Amino acid sequence: MIKRPSECEHSDEAFCRAMLPKVSRTFAACIGLLPPGLEFEVLIAYLLCRIADTAEDTETLSPETKRELLQHIAHQVSTAGTDASPLAATFAEPRNDDELLTRDADRVFRAYAALDATRREAIRPWVVEMCDGMADFALAHPGAAPGTVDALDDLSDLDRYCYYVAGTVGHLLTDLFALHHHRVTPRHVARMKKLATSFGLGLQLTNIIKDVADDRSRGWSFVPRRLCEALGTSPEHFLDSSDTPAAESVMATLIDKAQAHLDDARDYCLALPRSQYRIRIFCLTPLFFAVRTLALARRDPRLLDPNHKVKITRPEVKQTIRDTFLVAPNNALVRQYYRRLCALR
């Protein structure tokens, strides 16, 4: 039986809501903090970004195939199209939840197309720019030859990569926040837009730092080659015990860089009107997670150990969420709590 449009829309929304915790438990825990309406718009935007990331990050795909898929995603988002046939064919036998989401991307495309045109316009340019940037990087970094590491060249390449995969998300969220409530004034938006890129870069760099050993194990390094060489090591030997002092210097440079971006992310959150309590909580929660993670990474002697994972504990996650609810409305408390997390050992 052919479903009526309203039934299809409901089914697509249910699919999107069900897939979110499967592809990101952390984001699923945060998104429920947002006000109704805005919550679903951000959910759809996140899933579109996740689909693009899966196309770019799947190691078995050639750079040319990645580019074609990313161009297709960008076209569907630009036109509010619902054709996911190339994605369905490429991921016909999904190996994980990310690939399942990407195979059934038509359901996310339909949910996106059903959004109000102004909401789509807040999402469209940033997802398209993300896809274009990912396609460029896929072609520039086709994979490492045996015994080598495919690494970014310098810090500007790292900034550019982080912008495409995360800085764009900061701007996307800012544009959606600006549509949500009249108290998010042009003055607020102007301040937030100055900091939106840094917000995304801070969170992304923190993830890169904590996952540096995992990335190296698959022949990839977000740690730039020129930075390694300037400090006496290389991406190929970065994790060797003999290179520990040089590697520690490299990581200290990246940690300081991430910290500066997280400081900007704090100011981004403070630029939100205090009346937008739930949006503040949504932004502050991942920021506080990142600040705590970075503080652990800075002091962890096993940061570069492939058998060790830097992460905050589940009780700490719950406590951080509780604390965020308390401090979010007060700028002085936000700054004080941020400093405390930076100093924790």
- Give the pLDDT of residue 145: 65
With respect to residue 110, please indicate whether it lies within any of the assigned structural domains. Answer: yes
- Give the pLDDT of residue 99: 97
Q: What are the φ and ψ backbone dihedral angles of 151, each rounded to 5 degrees?
A: -125, 155
Report whether pLDDT(341) > 50: yes
Report whether pLDDT(25) > 90: no
**Is residue 34 domain-shared with residue 147, that is, in the same domain?**
no
**Is residue 189 domain-shared with residue 103, that is, in the same domain?**
no
pLDDT classification of 132: cutoffs 50, 70, 90: very high
- Give the pLDDT of residue 7: 43
- Give the pLDDT of residue 146: 63
**Is residue 83 domain-shared with residue 202, that is, in the same domain?**
no
- C-alpha to C-alpha distance for 271 and 292, rounded to whole angstroms: 21
- Give the pLDDT of residue 186: 87
Query: Taking the alpha carbons of 43, 29, 101, 311 in that order, is the dihedral positive or negative?
Result: positive
- Give the pLDDT of residue 221: 86
- Among the ranges given (99-103, 178-182, 231-235), the one the predictor scored with the smallest mean pLDDT: 178-182
- Give the pLDDT of residue 30: 86
| CB-based contact 179:259 (threshold 8 Å) | no
With respect to residue 122, please indicate whether it lies within any of the assigned structural domains. Answer: no
In 138-226, where do the E strands start and end?
150-151, 220-221
Q: Which of 117, 152, 175 represents a domain boundary (last residue)?
A: 117
- Among the ranges given (100-109, 133-142, 322-331), the one the predictor scored with the smallest mean pLDDT: 133-142
Task: Report pLDDT digits (tens) over 197-214.
Answer: 999 999 999 999 999 888
**Is residue 82 domain-shared with residue 156, that is, in the same domain?**
no
- Give the pLDDT of residue 131: 98
**Is residue 195 domain-shared with residue 334, that is, in the same domain?**
yes
**Is residue 105 domain-shared with residue 157, that is, in the same domain?**
no
Report whether pLDDT(148) > 80: no
- Give the pLDDT of residue 293: 95
Report whether pLDDT(2) > 60: no
The residue range of the domain holding 324 is 143-345
One-letter amino acid identity for 235?
P
Between 4 and 316, the higher pLDDT residue: 316
- C-alpha to C-alpha distance for 157 and 214, rounded to whole angstroms: 20
- Give the pLDDT of residue 290: 96
One-letter amino acid identity for 300?
D
**Cross-strand bridge partners of residue 150:** 220
- Please give the DSSP secondary-structure letter assigned to residue 286: H
With respect to residue 128, please indicate whether it lies within any of the assigned structural domains. Answer: no
Report whether pLDDT(339) > 70: yes
- Give the pLDDT of residue 6: 43
- Give the pLDDT of residue 95: 95
With respect to residue 136, please indicate whether it lies within any of the assigned structural domains. Answer: no
**Is residue 108 domain-shared with residue 165, that is, in the same domain?**
no
pTM to 2 decimal places:
0.91
**Is residue 164 domain-shared with residue 100, that is, in the same domain?**
no
**Is residue 94 domain-shared with residue 216, that is, in the same domain?**
no
Residue whose token pair is 């589940």: 314
**Is residue 45 domain-shared with residue 184, that is, in the same domain?**
no
Domain count, the chain: 2
| CB-based contact 333:327 (threshold 8 Å) | yes
Show the tokens assigned to 262: 């997280």
Which CATH number fits the domain that encloses residue 221?
Answer: 1.10.600.10
One-letter amino acid identity for 110?
R
With respect to residue 187, please indicate whether it lies within any of the assigned structural domains. Answer: yes
Task: Report pLDDT digits (tens) over 110-126.
Answer: 999 999 999 999 999 99
- C-alpha to C-alpha distance for 199 and 167, rounded to whole angstroms: 7
| CB-based contact 54:103 (threshold 8 Å) | no
Report whether pLDDT(75) > 90: yes
- Give the pLDDT of residue 5: 37
- Around Cβ 57, how many Cβ atoms within 10 Å? 13
Q: Among 165, 226, 171, 169, which residue's Cα sits nearest to residue 193?
A: 171
With respect to residue 226, please indicate whether it lies within any of the assigned structural domains. Answer: yes
What is the chain's mean pLDDT, rounded?
91
**Is residue 97 domain-shared with residue 155, that is, in the same domain?**
no
With respect to residue 135, please indicate whether it lies within any of the assigned structural domains. Answer: no
With respect to residue 125, please indicate whether it lies within any of the assigned structural domains. Answer: no
- C-alpha to C-alpha distance for 269 and 145, rounded to whole angstroms: 43
Report whether pLDDT(45) > 90: yes
**Is residue 236 domain-shared with residue 282, that is, in the same domain?**
yes
